[in-house]
């Protein structure tokens, strides 16, 4: 992480986290615990808030695609989850009305549950076959099959069966 991220970029992320937290403290008139964060998020998620740990994980691959947009959208998104948990507890929905209110009224960001950043390509792919064509599974989905999950083709309805591991694209 330290080799890839400049000190300036780390500071900008820290400033955005702090800005959102201070706004939330003023709005709710309470002291909140500042969350920690790292850049260990992988896969399809731009970020994840681990509420019990008061920790946020950000996807470095996506951060480097569009730094400005990531800092202005993804960082407040995850901070809003932390704020909602600290203020309202664990009984509220992850993207419920409390989260929407924090996003829009405190972080001043449009509440959105999804991102459109490019997703990193899977490293290990596995070929599966049905009656009409072949399918590519990620290592995660292949692992689910190995543990007993079954998948059906959306076109022909037949069960997908493992063929072989294939090289990534």
Kindly state the tokens that stand for 12. 């900008």
Residue from 78, 110, 127, 136 carrying the catalytic annotation: 78
DSSP labels, 108-143 = -----S---PPPPPPSSEEEEE-SS-EEEEEHHHHH
Residue with tokens 């989905």: 141
For 106, the token pair is 């405190």
Q: Tokens 């992480």 label which residue?
A: 1
- Is 78 one of the catalytic residues? yes
Measured between its terminal Cα atoms, the distance across the chain in Å is 25
Show which residues are catalytic. 78
């Amino acid at each position: 992480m330290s080799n890839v991220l400049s000190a300036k970029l780390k500071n900008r992320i820290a400033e955005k986290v702090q800005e959102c937290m201070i706004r939330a403290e003023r709005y709710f008139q309470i002291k909140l615990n500042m969350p920690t964060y790292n850049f260990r998020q992988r896969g399809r998620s731009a970020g994840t808030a681990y509420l019990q740990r008061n920790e946020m994980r950000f996807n470095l691959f996506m951060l480097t695609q569009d730094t400005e947009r990531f800092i202005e959208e993804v960082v407040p998104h995850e901070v809003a989850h932390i704020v909602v948990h600290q203020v309202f507890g664990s009984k509220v929905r992850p993207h419920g009305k409390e989260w929407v209110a924090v996003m829009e009224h405190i972080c001043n960001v449009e509440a959105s549950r999804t991102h459109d950043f490019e997703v990193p390509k899977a490293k290990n792919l596995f070929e599966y076959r049905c009656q009409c064509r072949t399918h590519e599974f990620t290592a995660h989905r292949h692992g689910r099959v190995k543990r007993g999950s079954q998948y059906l083709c959306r076109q022909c309805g037949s069960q997908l069966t493992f063929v072989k591991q294939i090289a990534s694209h």
